[in-house]
């Protein structure tokens, strides 16, 4: 899972370059890492959690993943557009 995080960080770093090619490559790498993470985490829970906790932890993972994506998208609304001054919009 740590490798997925490092690969995702590399993909996010590629998107910082202001060209379309780097944006596409960075998003592809990040999507690949996110897909592996979505498969690896439930599998790790299945392998390492006690039997009585498996169902609760699987639900918590799905809720946390969806909530984290929603918070990330909402945080993007605070970022200024390209035409505005570089301040946070609050």
Cβ neighbours for 40, distance < 8 A, ≥ 6 positions apart: 1, 4
Q: Would you state the pLDDT for residue 28?
A: 93
State pLDDT tens for residues 10-43: 988 888 888 888 889 999 999 999 888 888 888 8
Q: How far is CA 71 from CA 55, 75, 85, in A?
A: 25, 6, 24
Q: Would you state the pLDDT for residue 81?
A: 67
């Amino acid at each position: 899972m740590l490798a997925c995080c490092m690969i995702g960080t590399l993909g996010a770093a590629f998107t910082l370059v202001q060209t379309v090619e780097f944006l596409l490559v960075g998003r592809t790498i990040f999507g690949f890492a996110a897909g592996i993470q979505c498969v690896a985490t439930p599998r790790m829970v299945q392998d390492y959690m006690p039997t009585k906790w498996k169902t609760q932890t699987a639900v918590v993972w799905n809720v946390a993943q969806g909530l984290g994506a929603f918070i990330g998208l909402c945080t993007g609304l605070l970022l200024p557009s390209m035409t505005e001054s570089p301040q946070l919009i609050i």
